[in-house]
Amino acid sequence: MSKSNIYSAKAKRIAVAVYAAVIAFLTYTCVYAFRKPFTVVNFGGTSFAGVSYPTMLIISQVIGYMLSKFYGIRLIAELKRASRWKTGLFLIMVSWLALLLLAVVPSPWGIICMAINGFSLGFMWGIVFSYVEGRKATDFIGSVMAVSFIFAGGFTRSAALWLKDILGINDYWLPFVTGAVFIIPICLFIFLLEKIPLPDKEDKEERTERLPMDVNERKKLITRFFAGILLMVISYFFLTIMRDIRDNYMVVMWKELGYGKNYQLYAGTETLISIVVLAIMALMVFVRKNLLAFKLVHIIIIAGFIISGVASLLFINGRLNGNWWMLLIGLGLYTAYIPFNCILFERMIALFKLKGNAGFLIYVADSFGYLGSVLIMLIKEFFSFNISWSRFYSQGVVWFALLGIICTIVSLQYFLNQHKDKSTGKWKLVPPSSLEPA
């Protein structure tokens, strides 16, 4: 191949990666417009059985989201290319309809609406990620997409508050109206996802071809790496609890810390975190060796746990103000959290040459992660802990960070041992046609 053709091929590959990253990011940012805006209002301050209505809605949505993750283990693993866009559009419309019902049904029956909303939206990450996994540039594309976790939460909340201030929309209708603003953009972006070229020969050689997995293939993969996957799930269990509570109760904690009236702070803080985390994750695209990348991802996760734990210790001891604490804890959590959603399992499949897709493993981890989030919320609300969310959260992060560090270190050692053959010191990689040890 001539130099001009080589440069042309590289330019095309870069263009595809940038296009896929931007479209995936914008698509999932729009998803948050149907998921988070209801958390910025208090629904008239109503409460039932001693629990505020907003808290009931948050818990019910997270329960729906958790259930979708368990069902998504099968749905995302078996997802076929031809049906992806239809499934995505259908789920978005269902989630939007649930917000309409939230506006019209009497309290507290809106909890059913938010459970439906959460269940519908819980599949969207796996659907969108299926368009970008299994590529040489997946680390970059997935990182850009995953940064929407951080940016979109603050952006869509700020957008909702802006609509409330400008149009004077009441609390019950605000989530639906915010979704209405984003309904045309998300339909457009799902259409543009379909235009992303499929992984080429070089992608498949370096990262393996990604295929739907039936129940037997899923069982084989879990059995083959059970101990390592269990350790990963435990680490992610702690991360999801910390990340999800911060995300759902961000407005409450900002108010407790004295920054409640500055709603632009939500978007500003999350945008800064997004930029820093993206810069860290995007560098992984330059690490071509899957084994080295797999090691580095574990180190990044450990570093994220350390940042979160240390920041919380300083905050508890009065050596860090609330603004810096929210910033640093967000930075640490997302530094550790995002690799699970776009790099860790992607590189694991490429390293061991497994037949399957990263979406399956992501949903295995996600399902138990959100189970933990639901349990912590229920414990906090129904066991009469007389403690603010910011205090409860800061103390919990210290312990979860410590446990997460331990699990991640042991996980890395487990997979390094699996990569070695007892006699030669090297692991003979599993062929794509089988999940059994070679």
Q: What is the pLDDT of residues 282-303, one digit of tens each?
A: 889 899 999 999 999 999 999 9
Three-class SS of residue 384? coil
Identify the pLDDT of residue 427: 42
Structure tokens at 97: 């309809």
Contact 89, 53 (CB under 8 A): no
Identify the pLDDT of residue 405: 96
Structure tokens at 10: 């590289």
Identify the pLDDT of residue 437: 37
Q: What is the pLDDT of residues 78-103, one digit of tens each?
A: 998 888 999 999 999 999 999 999 99
Identify the pLDDT of residue 46: 82
Identify the pLDDT of residue 10: 81
Taken in order of first residue, the domains within the chain and their CATH numbers are 13-196+204-418 (1.20.1250.20)
Element (H, E) at 115: helix 110-121
Element (H, E) at 305: helix 290-316
Identify the pLDDT of residue 216: 92
Please name which of 124, 114, 58, 62 lies closest in space to residue 91, comparing C-alpha atoms: 124
Structure tokens at 89: 């559009």
Residue 52: phi and psi, rounded to 5, are -65, 145
pTM, two decimal places:
0.84
Identify the pLDDT of residue 9: 74
Alpha carbon dihedral 18, 21, 26, 29, in 10-degree steps, equals -150
Q: Which residues of the chain have pLDDT under 70?
A: 1-7, 260-264, 266-267, 384-386, 421-438
Distance, in Å, from the CA atom of 198 to the CA atom of 209, rounded to the nearest integer, reads 10
Place of tokens 């379909």: 194
Q: What is the pLDDT of residues 194-203, one digit of tens each?
A: 999 999 988 9
Residue-wise DSSP of 133-187: -SSTTHHHHHHHHHHHHHHHHHHHHHHHHHHHHHH---TTTHHHHHHHHHHHHHH
